[in-house]
Amino acid sequence: MKTERIERTRLVPHTVDGVTEMVLDREIIEVPAPPRDWDHIVRTAVTIGAVILVTVSLTWTTASIGGLLAVAVAAPIAYGAAVAFDTSWIMCMAVEWLLRSDPERAAAAKRAGRFALAVSMAAVFAHGHLFADTIVGVVGALVSALAKGGWSIAMRVHARPLDPLTQQWVAKQRAALDGKLAMIPIRRELQRGEALVHAEQRSLAGRADGGSADPDQSGPVSGQSADSPDALEQPAASGPMTIKDAVRTALDSGIREPDRVLAYVRKVADANAKPDTVSRYIRLAG
């Protein structure tokens, strides 16, 4: 029986000069080695082979189509554009792999990949037919087909098919999750809109209050009198009180203390009224 050596660690008590501490003890032991997983080895080999085929196909297609396009444009541009041909169906296969548990959505990527492969093969065939012969064009075009076939086989090796009932369950769970994810940017958009609305309202309110904060500005004198503080807390009937109106109303109702006048002004006129402004209006009214 094959064995393998592994390191095992554990905490053990260790005493020095009558003081005990838990220390880490290491020991090497031999355990039976697990049997070789040939399925995993073969699966890995298939995946590596598919990657190699795709790399070879991308290189060959780029060289062939780049040579074809270089007749009409500069070589760097031609070979740069040639990369797009095989890259297109490779990307479609990557999307097909990501959507492997959603056959309906993966079908579109599969169709697009087949179309991109056909276009790529046709371009490679055209290059071989024009610059060599028809056989070279056919063989060169088959390189991309073999690469796509090898990658399709690798995908089937890694695939985990779902039965119809489980597939429906997965679809409903994904739909619910997709709905939650879709609401994230929508909520952000709504919050940004609400923030803009509030900012606009604060800006307009600040401009309206700013005109009445000037002590030199005159405004209508409120002749309102009140018998109780509760009545004084109501705004003027014609609209919001100015600071000047609020000061005169407070003085007319018998409120003389500057702190109380300031509190009343901030309550019924301007929450950001300055004590100096209110004191100036008190002196002018006196």
What pLDDT does 116 receive? 92
Nearest one of 65, 186, 56, 194 to 123, comparing CA atoms:
65
Nearest one of 149, 144, 152 to 82, comparing CA atoms:
144
Residue range 22-73, pLDDT digits in tens: 999 988 888 888 888 888 899 899 999 999 999 999 999 999 999 889 888 8
Question: How many other C-beta atoms are found inside a 10 Å radius of the C-beta of residue 155?
Answer: 17
SS3 3: strand
Q: How far apart are CA 257 and CA 251, in angstroms?
A: 9
What pLDDT does 90 receive? 92
By percentage, how much of the chain surpasses pLDDT 90? 33
**Residue 97 pLDDT > 50, yes or no?**
yes
Give kind and range of the element (H or E) at residue 19. Answer: strand 19-32
By percentage, how much of the chain surpasses pLDDT 70? 87
Nearest one of 58, 56, 53, 269 to 152, comparing CA atoms:
53
**Residue 237 pLDDT > 50, yes or no?**
no
Q: How far apart are CA 200 and CA 198, in angstroms?
A: 5
Model confidence at 194, pLDDT cuts 50, 70, 90, reads confident
Contact predicate 29/5, CB 8 Å: yes
Contact predicate 148/89, CB 8 Å: yes
What pLDDT does 219 receive? 43
Mean pLDDT of the chain: 83
Residue 220 CA to its chain's centroid (Å): 55
- Residue 69 makes CB contacts below 8 A (sequence gap 6+) with 77, 78, 79, 81, 82
**Residue 118 pLDDT > 50, yes or no?**
yes
Tell me the range of 60-69, 153-162, 250-259 where mean pLDDT is highest.
Answer: 60-69
Q: Which burial class, exposed, middle or buried, applies to 279 when counting CB atoms under 10 A from its CB (0-12, 13-18, 19+)? A: middle
Residue 72 CA to its chain's centroid (Å): 42
**Residue 218 pLDDT > 60, yes or no?**
no
Q: How far apart are CA 166 and CA 174, in angstroms?
A: 12
Residue range 200-215, pLDDT digits in tens: 887 777 666 554 444 4
Q: Which amino acid is at 124?
A: V
Q: How far apart are CA 214 and CA 212, in angstroms?
A: 5
Nearest one of 56, 185, 63 to 123, comparing CA atoms:
63
**Residue 100 pLDDT > 60, yes or no?**
yes
Question: How many other C-beta atoms are found inside a 10 Å radius of the C-beta of residue 16?
Answer: 8
Residue 260 CA to its chain's centroid (Å): 53
Q: How far apart are the first and last CA of the chain?
A: 109
Lowest mean pLDDT across 48-52, 221-225, 258-262, 265-269: 221-225
**Residue 242 pLDDT > 70, yes or no?**
yes
- pTM for this one? 0.55
Q: How far apart are CA 229 and CA 252, in angstroms?
A: 12
Q: How far apart are CA 280 and CA 286, in angstroms?
A: 10
Segment 80-85 shows an average pLDDT of 92
